[in-house]
Amino acid sequence: MSGLSLVILILGLALIGWLAGRMRAAAFRRGSRRRYSSQPVHHGWFVALWTLVPPLLFLVLWATVSPALVTDAVLTNPAAVHLPPLGFERASILSEARSLAQGQSYGAFHQLSQTLAPAYAAAQARYDWIATAIALLLAFAGGAFTFTRVGPGLAARTQIERVVMLLLLLASLIAILTTMGIVVSLVWEAGRFFARVPVADFLFGMHWSPQVISMRDPGASLGAVPLFWGTFFIGAVIAMIVAIPFGLMSAIYLTQYADPTTRKWIKPTLEMLAGVPTVVYGYFAALTVAPAVRQFAVSIGMANASSESALAAGLVMGIMIIPFVSSMADDSLSAVPAAMRDGSLAMGATSSETIRKVLVPAALPGVVGGVLLAVSRAIGETMIVVMAASGVATLTANPFASATTVTKQIVDLLTGEAEFDSPKTLAAFALGLTLFVITLLLNIVALTVVKKYREAYE
């Protein structure tokens, strides 16, 4: 019986259990004026859960364990004596036999796979029957046992609610699992990288050209400093030169000068800048901005301006980041107590003087937090640099030249047919780990700064 029909059968049994439990509970309640803490519906769910969950758990467990069991059974087959010892070839023969047996492929490279395939099919069928029998047995047992327990003494609702709470808790734990997963997988792969390449070479080396990695000294061409510089230059310098003035002045205008209708329409429009997918920004940067920047560079006399300049990527990135800065600045400015503003105005200061000398200094922690979050976002940005910047790592301070970033290199390293284990692919994980740590630190600092500020005013 196929997996799907087995699951459907179990679901059907659970439904029967639900109806039976509910009916039985309604029966013992009939005619009695006593109050019960569990309603018939709860009894129904109680029976249904015990019918459904044990077999499903068993099936999940079985799915992880059974391939090994089946393989063991196949190995007892006389033909298996011819298998090569533990290694890549052995595994590929076995997996070929498996896919032949399951009907997923029709031809085979190895003669042995053809011979073993029937053994596979037989073993699989045998174990499938065992699994079906056990699952159905669990379903019936669970259902019958709980059905007999349905009665006035059964705290069905409490049990059900405990299960619900457990589900809620499990859902929350997934968040921790994800974080752990990220950290563990990055650290693990990066660890394999640092086993081959010394950390110092990676973090402080000035030369990055992953196409030519020598086996003797891989660290010599995997120095990431140009990448760090490129990321910093494009994301933290150029982008911020655009984003901070536009973002801050927009926030100032919208909170201090604009009338409510303008603010109501313009604020969401600015947020839209953050909603445009980065691939669109990247395309726009590559198609329109980069050639324009190059024209400009040529016209002011730079002969070898790149068409993949850092400036093009940085400008577009800055535009994308504007709403991050403006929205945090907006919140911080609005949170400054009106009393401060009134006090300054009442002294005869103009609005601009009030803003420059009173409000912005008061809102500064929030603005700084917003800038840090924006930098963190810019550093982690991928598509704009992939499409508009180059892959050549240089250490230039010339915005019209090309530069590359950590994120672009991650993408480049992982495309192409390199083995999963080479220093090239592992380097991507090392870069990823670095990126993760830096953005995490920036976010923590930003949130601490903002939180401290909020406490000061409340």
* DSSP per position, 116-153: HHHHHHHHHHHHHHHHHHHHHHHHHHHHHHHHHH-STT
Q: Which is closer to other proteins, CB of 236 or CB of 387?
A: 387
Count Cβ atoms within 10 A of the Cβ of residue 422 and give its class: 0-12 exposed, 13-18 middle, 19 or more buried: middle
Q: Which is closer to other proteins, CB of 115 or CB of 351?
A: 351
Tell me the torsion sign for CA atoms 371, 377, 380, 385: negative
Q: Which is closer to other proteins, CB of 304 or CB of 415?
A: 415
Distance (Å, whole) CA 240 – CA 251: 15
Shortest distance, position 145 Cβ to other proteins, whole Å: 24
Q: Which is closer to other proteins, CB of 135 or CB of 383?
A: 383
Q: Which is closer to other proteins, CB of 76 or CB of 269?
A: 269
CA atoms within 13 A on the CB side of 189: 20
> What are the φ/ψ torsions at residue 222 (nearest 5 degrees)?
-125, 40
Shortest distance, position 354 Cβ to other proteins, whole Å: 10
Q: Which is closer to other proteins, CB of 143 or CB of 423?
A: 423
CA atoms within 13 A on the CB side of 453: 25
Q: Which is closer to other proteins, CB of 115 or CB of 256?
A: 256
Q: How far is CA 407 from CA 154, 217, 317, 340, 434, in A?
A: 58, 24, 13, 44, 11
Shortest distance, position 112 Cβ to other proteins, whole Å: 22
Q: Which is closer to other proteins, CB of 138 or CB of 379?
A: 379
Distance (Å, whole) CA 296 – CA 361: 37
Shortest distance, position 158 Cβ to other proteins, whole Å: 8
Shortest distance, position 4 Cβ to other proteins, whole Å: 13
Rg over CA atoms, the chain? 32
348 contacts 335 by C-beta, under 8 angstroms: no
Shortest distance, position 111 Cβ to other proteins, whole Å: 26
Place of tokens 């002045």: 249
Each residue of 383-405: b (16+ CB within 10 Å) or e? bbbbbbbbbebbeeebbbbbbbb
Shortest distance, position 114 Cβ to other proteins, whole Å: 24
423 contacts 222 by C-beta, under 8 angstroms: yes
Shortest distance, position 27 Cβ to other proteins, whole Å: 12
Closest alpha carbon to 142 in 5, 6, 18, 24: 18
Shortest distance, position 168 Cβ to other proteins, whole Å: 4
Q: Which is closer to other proteins, CB of 93 or CB of 383?
A: 383
